[in-house]
Amino acid sequence: MVRPMYKTKLFRKEQLKFMLLNLVAFSFIFTIFDIIIFHEVQRTLFSKADHELEAFQDMITDQMLPRTEIPLREKGPNRNLSREGRQPNPNPRIIVLKWDEQGTIANENEIGTLLYENYFQTYKLDRKNLDVLTTTTIDDEYHFRTILFHNPTDESAVYTELLINIDAEYTIVDNFAELLWICSILFILLSITASYVLSKKMMKPIIHSWNKQAEFVENASHELRTPLTIVQNKLEALLVEPEEKIMNRFEHIALGLSETRRLSKLTTDLLTLARADSSETELMKQPIRIDDLIEEVCSPFMDIAESQDKSFSLALQSAATIEADEARLHQLLVILLDNALKYTAQQDEIQVKTYKEESKVMIEVSDTGIGIKPENTQHIFDRFYREDKARSRETGGTGLGLSIAQWIVDKHGGTISVSRNKPKGTTFKIKIPT
Binding site for ligand ADP (CB under 6 A): 335, 339-340, 343, 367, 369-372, 380, 385-388, 392, 397-402, 426
Contact 268, 275 (CB under 8 A): no
Identity of the residue, 111 or 334, whose beta carbon is nearer to ligand ADP in the bound complex = 334
Residue closest to 152 by CA, chosen among 86, 57, 50, 49: 57
Nearer to ligand ADP, 15 or 339 (CB): 339
What value, to the nearest 5°, has the Cα angle with vertex 153 and ends 113 and 110? 10
Report the alpha-carbon distance of residue 419 to residue 221 in Å, rounded: 32
Residue 368 and residue 349 in contact, taking contact as beta carbons nearer than 8 Å: yes
Quote the distance between the C-alpha of residue 142 and its chain's center: 51
Q: How far is the CB of 213 from ligand ADP (least distance, A)?
A: 19
Instruction: Report the C-alpha gap between 255 and 231 in whole angstroms.
Output: 8
Q: Distance (Å, rounded) from C-alpha 299 to C-alpha 146?
A: 97
Angle among Cα 313, 318, 319 to the nearest 5 degrees reads 110
**Strand 94-99 to 285-289 pairing:** unpaired
Q: How far is the CB of 386 from ligand ADP (least distance, A)?
A: 3
Task: For ligand ADP, give the closer residue by CB, 87 or 226.
Answer: 226
Report the largest interatomic distance among the alpha carbons of the chain, rounded to a whole angstrom: 140
- Comparison of 22 and 392: residue with beta carbon closer to ligand ADP: 392
Q: What are phi and psi of 420, to 5 degrees?
A: -80, 135
Instruction: Choose between 195 and 426: whose C-beta lies nearer to ligand ADP.
Output: 426
Kindly tell me which of 31 and 347 has the beta carbon lying closer to ligand ADP: 347
The distance of closest approach from Cβ of residue 339 to ligand ADP in the complex, given in angstroms and rounded to an integer, is 3
